[in-house]
Chain A
Amino acid sequence: MIDDLEELYRTQRPQFCRAAAAIAGDGALGEDAVQDAFAKAVRKRRSYRGRGSLESWVWRIVVNAARDARRKRRALVGLRDRPEAASPNGHGDLLPLELLTDRQREVLFLHYYADLDYATIAEALGIRGGTVGATLSTARRVLRQALAPEVKS
């Protein structure tokens, strides 16, 4: 099984890192979260019961690690009230992610940055498959409405 984990890591590391960086709110923290998450997967590999895909199981660990990193980052920089004030690209950006809930953001990130299908996203986040599509649709609608004035101008 460790070979499967290595294969998953080697083939999908950029996607894992990108999604984790988005969730963590920082590129370096996201990358570190992925390393820690795979290390945890290696240690806990015997607890994988084969329910659901290995990929989903690893994604769940990565998402949890990225959430932890995000919490620590908030505590460190005192951004509890302005969670989106900083951006993983280090410049701040025009994407109004603060308008989205945590779940909407995570679904959006996993879909866009990792190109995961709805079933894998659902397993990774521990939600129902039907919820993923609706959440993603809502997230994009909120962003679309927020960006509409910018596009018109």
Chain B
Amino acid sequence: MTETRIDELLDEHVPAFEPRLDGWEDVLARAHTTRRRYAALAVAALALLLVPTAVALRWQIAELFQGTPAPPAVSTSFEGLNRFADATIRAGFARQAPHADVSKAHGVIQIQTADGPQDLWAAPNDEGGVCWFIDFANDQPSGNVQPGFGACVTSSPPAPDILLEGPAWMLRIRRCPRSMGMSTPTPRPCS
């Protein structure tokens, strides 16, 4: 009798689950998202590592922004960073915050990950530093905005003439051509 009662209570404790039709697709999406998050963090860490190096070596802004001009969707994302800076000041969280010079947004590096190329874009800001933005090159813009994330610092990243290839944990560095002018047809940092 008691054994039967235990089974009844166990049944009540956790009701049975129904099959879920889209469950496996959600599993794959989660696996994909987490891997992308690691790749994005790797690029962010790399950017943060390179910024102080650039400052220490006194790379110049003029040389820094010779890379491919940012496409409209990336420029819009930088404008979003500026709006965020304005909102931060208005909300009283900061007395001042750097604003990107969107017209000078250019590619810095591109990293090949298992999920495709990941780009780091940069633009000088009005506090003598740099705003940067990271996206997945193969992602389609959502509206006029490129999905990704960015931030501003008050120092400068390195020259834009390096391309990092291979999985994020095995980077191979090679030189990119320096002559990437405004007429470059492919709007990617080193394509």
Contact of B9 among A35, A88, A93 (CB under 8 A): A93
Question: Chain B at the A interface: mostly helix, strand, loop or mixed?
Answer: helix
Q: Are the CB atoms of A43 and B16 closer together than 8 Å?
A: no
Digitize B1-30: 1 where CB-to-A-CB distance is under 8 Å, 0 elsewhere.
111011101101111111110011011101
Q: Are the CB atoms of B13 and A43 closer together than 8 Å?
A: no
A84: nearest residue on chain B (CB-CB)? B13
Q: Is B31 an interface residue (CB 8 A)?
A: yes
Note all chain B residues with C-beta closer than 8 A to A18: 14, 16-17
A109 to B7, CA, bound (A): 11
Contact of B35 among A22, A43, A95 (CB under 8 A): A43
Q: Are the CB atoms of B13 and A14 closer together than 8 Å?
A: no
A109 to B29, CA, bound (A): 28
Q: Is B142 an interface residue (CB 8 A)?
A: no
Note all chain A residues with C-beta closer than 8 A to B16: 14, 18
Question: Chain A at the B interface: mostly helix, strand, loop or mixed?
Answer: helix
Note all chain A residues with C-beta closer than 8 A to B26: 35
A108 to B10, CA, bound (A): 9
Note all chain A residues with C-beta closer than 8 A to B17: 13-14, 17-18, 21, 27, 31
A27 to B13, CA, bound (A): 10
Note all chain A residues with C-beta closer than 8 A to B15: 27, 88-89
Q: Are the CB atoms of A42 and B31 closer together than 8 Å?
A: yes
Q: Are the CB atoms of B14 and A27 closer together than 8 Å?
A: yes
Q: Are the CB atoms of A151 and B13 closer together than 8 Å?
A: no
Q: Are the CB atoms of A144 and B2 closer together than 8 Å?
A: yes
B49 to chain A, nearest CB (A): 25
Digitize A34-47: 1 where CB-to-B-CB distance is under 8 Å, 0 elsewhere.
01101110110000
B38: nearest residue on chain A (CB-CB)? A43
Q: Is B34 an interface residue (CB 8 A)?
A: yes
A30 to chain B, nearest CB (A): 8
Note all chain A residues with C-beta closer than 8 A to B20: 13
On whether A88 and B1 interact (CB within 8 A), knowing A13-B19, A14-B19, A112-B7, the answer reads no
Q: How big is the A interface, by class?
A: 35 or more
Q: Are the CB atoms of B6 and A22 closer together than 8 Å?
A: no
A151 to B16, CA, bound (A): 25
Note all chain B residues with C-beta closer than 8 A to A113: 10, 14
On whether A147 and B2 interact (CB within 8 A), knowing A13-B23, A35-B23, A42-B31, the answer reads yes
A113 to B6, CA, bound (A): 13
Note all chain A residues with C-beta closer than 8 A to B14: 18, 21-22, 27, 30, 88-89, 109, 113
Note all chain A residues with C-beta closer than 8 A to B18: 14
A87 to B28, CA, bound (A): 30
Note all chain A residues with C-beta closer than 8 A to B1: 151
Q: Are the CB atoms of B10 and A112 closer together than 8 Å?
A: yes
On whether A144 and B6 interact (CB within 8 A), knowing A35-B30, A88-B14, the answer reads yes
Q: List 16 A-B contacts (CB under 8 A).
A: A6-B24, A21-B17, A27-B17, A38-B27, A43-B34, A93-B9, A93-B13, A94-B12, A97-B13, A112-B10, A113-B14, A144-B2, A144-B6, A147-B5, A147-B6, A150-B5
Inter-chain pairs besides A30-B14, A109-B14, A140-B6, 5 sampled, C-beta below 8 Å = A13-B20, A22-B14, A89-B13, A95-B6, A95-B12
